[in-house]
Amino acid sequence: MSELTLFLVRIAYLAILWIFVLSAISVIRSDMFGARVPTPAGPGKQPKPPKAPAPRRGQPKEVAVVQGVNTGIVADLANAPVLIGRGNDAAIRLDDDYVSTRHARIVSSGGQWYVEDLGSTNGTYIGSQRLTQPVPVGLGSQIRIGKTIVELRK
């Protein structure tokens, strides 16, 4: 075994070692940037869009103001998340002095509706409980926002 051959073997082995290290790193790199966010246009997952608008029995369809200055305002839950507040971009615009510009919103997750306080000054209440995190709400739950009460309806 000549000196040169052994030298080449040594260099070749170090090259293999580093090729392995670098390919491991490149797999990590592609793993970081290569994750995909599933799109509704994906080839295998088509049945979702037609299902969503179909109204379900026993599920709320709209949110209505039942007490306060703006009694009678109704917003469709199909445009969720529904923003409630005094601002112009709110889906339910309240003229209540105790309501913040972006007060609370109603969102859907996993087929369940939640009400979430958006850091309002005077708080959002269900019963006597002030909300500190998104809380599930069902049909007829009374959500108190300032001097206004809203609830989910069919």
Binding site for another protein (CB under 8 A): 1, 5-7, 9-14, 16-21, 23-25, 27-28, 30-31, 34-38, 48, 51, 56-59, 81, 107, 109-111, 114, 116, 134
Nearer to another protein, 39 or 128 (CB): 39
Q: Could you tell me the end-to-end alpha-carbon distance of the chain, in angstroms, rounded to an integer?
A: 87
Nearer to another protein, 26 or 71 (CB): 26
Q: Which residues contact residue 78 at a Cβ distance below 8 angstroms, ignoring those fewer than 6 apart?
A: 53, 61
- Least Å from the CB of residue 108 to another protein: 9
- Least Å from the CB of residue 128 to another protein: 24
- Least Å from the CB of residue 125 to another protein: 19
- Least Å from the CB of residue 74 to another protein: 23
Distance CA 151, CA 32 (A): 43
Residues 122, 98 contacting (CB under 8 angstroms): yes
Strand 92-93, strand 82-85: pairing: parallel
| Neighbouring C-alpha atoms within 13 Å toward the C-beta of 4 | 0
Nearer to another protein, 76 or 97 (CB): 76
- Least Å from the CB of residue 69 to another protein: 28
Nearer to another protein, 19 or 95 (CB): 19
3-state secondary structure of 89: coil
Nearer to another protein, 87 or 134 (CB): 134
Q: Which of 88, 92, 87 is nearest to 72 (CA)?
A: 92
